[in-house]
Amino acid sequence: MLKGEYITKDFGGLRVLGDVSFEVKAGSIFGLIGPNGAGKTTVFNIISGLLKPTSGRVIFNGKDITNRPPYEITSYGISRTFQNIRVFREMTLLENVLVGMHRLFSYSTFSMFFDLPKKRSEEKDLRAKAFEILSIVRLTEKADLKAESLSYGEQRKLELARAIATEPKLLLIDEPAAGMNPAETEELMEEIVHINGKGYTICLIEHDMKVVMGICSHIAVLNFGELIAEGSPDEIKANQEVIEAYLGKEEWSA
């Protein structure tokens, strides 16, 4: 479904990614792991169009999406969450999700001004749908609260809901388990598997190895901007280079 071909990114004199190639198969949960600073979020930024690669290509369902602007890439069916949670804090949960559903709205300024039936029906239907999406992440009771009133974990769920609202084919999730306790992490793993079960392909950046090994079908490992291993969880666990890269890091738990 998604292919990265020899993606390279230089920032001035610093090479952040070097010839990174990978493939995410449709329907899978793909894990992207590596020590801090390995370049994982940079890969996400390039896929979602926030950064332009110095060289290389990103192919999505056969279409070259390299260098396309973010809003266009979203229209092709890729959505994402952010490592440092970027929900719209002063908007309500429902509004956050409605913003995610941007693509599904089409009424004009004219319709808005004159309260035409098209506007009223779109608002009514899509609000109902937004409510449904909130129920997937179990946040419906807080639908009319401002996003900033949510706990950290809840905000992560909201971001996920908002990303799902864009009706993506591929969902890029950036470190969803960060800052979560074991119980929340369990819940998170279930949710991701559940979402995947509904047909969303998922690409996951994560440090928590329990999560990665638990739900990913395929994993790629980055270190210092280079792809050092790719394969199934078992293959990765046994890979000598990967073990060395992670040596001394507490997140590693086989």
Partner 1 sequence: MSELITSFWQTYNTLFYTVFVHGMLALSIYITLSCGQLSLGNAAFMGIGAYTAALLTMKAGLPFGISLIAGGFLPAVVALIIGIPTLRLSGVYLAMATLGFGEVVRVVILNMKITGGSLGLNGVPLKTELWHLVLVMGILIYFFIKLKNSRFGRILEAINEDEVAASVMGIRATYYKVWAFTIGAFIAGVAGGLNAHFTFFISPREYGFEPAVDILTFAILGGTRTLWGPLAGSTILTILPELFRFLGPYRLALNGIILVLVVLYLPNGIVNRDTFTNLKNFFKKEENA
Partner 2 sequence: MFLQQIANALALGAVYSLFAIGFTLIFGVLEVITLAHGAVFMMGAFAGLIAVTKFNAGLASTLLASMIVPGLAGYLIDLIAVGPLRKRKFHHLAPMIATIGCATIITSTYQGIFGAEAYRFPFDFVPSTSYDIGGIQLTLLQLIIISISLFLMVVLIFFLNKTRWGKAVRAVAENPKTAALLGIPVEQVFRLTMSISSAFGGAAGVLTGLNFNTIHTFMGGPILHRGIAVIILGGMGDIRGAMAGGLILGFSEILSVAYISSDFRDAISFGLLFLILLVRPSGIFGKVIERKG
Binding site for partner 2 (CB under 8 A): 41, 44-45, 48, 50-52, 82
**3 Cβ neighbours under 8 A, 6+ residues apart:** 21, 22, 23, 24, 57, 58, 59, 60
CB closer to partner 1 out of 112 and 238: 112
Q: Which of the listed partners (partner 2, partner 1, none) does 38 bind, with a CB threshold of 5 to 8 Å by partner kind?
A: none
CB closer to partner 2 out of 31 and 49: 49
Q: x/- binding map, residues 157-186, to partner 1, per CB under 8 A?
A: -----x---x--------------------
**109 Cβ neighbours under 8 A, 6+ residues apart:** none
Q: Name the nearest CA neighbour of 202 among 187, 136, 191, 98.
A: 191
Q: Which of the listed partners (partner 2, partner 1, none) does 52 bind, with a CB threshold of 5 to 8 Å by partner kind?
A: partner 2
DSSP 98: H
Cβ 198 to partner 2 shortest distance, Å? 26
Q: Which two tokens stand for residue 89?
A: 């804090």
Q: x/- binding map, residues 25-54, to partner 1, per CB under 8 A?
A: -----------------------x-x----
Q: x/- binding map, residues 63-92, to partner 1, per CB under 8 A?
A: ------xxx--xx---xx-x---xxxxxx-
Q: How many residues bind partner 1 (CB under 8 A)?
A: 33
Q: How far apart are CA 50 and CA 249, in angstroms?
A: 30
Q: Which of the listed partners (partner 1, partner 2, none) does 162 bind, with a CB threshold of 5 to 8 Å by partner kind?
A: partner 1
Q: Name the nearest CA neighbour of 127 among 157, 159, 100, 88.
A: 100
Q: 153, 100 in Cβ contact below 8 A?
A: no
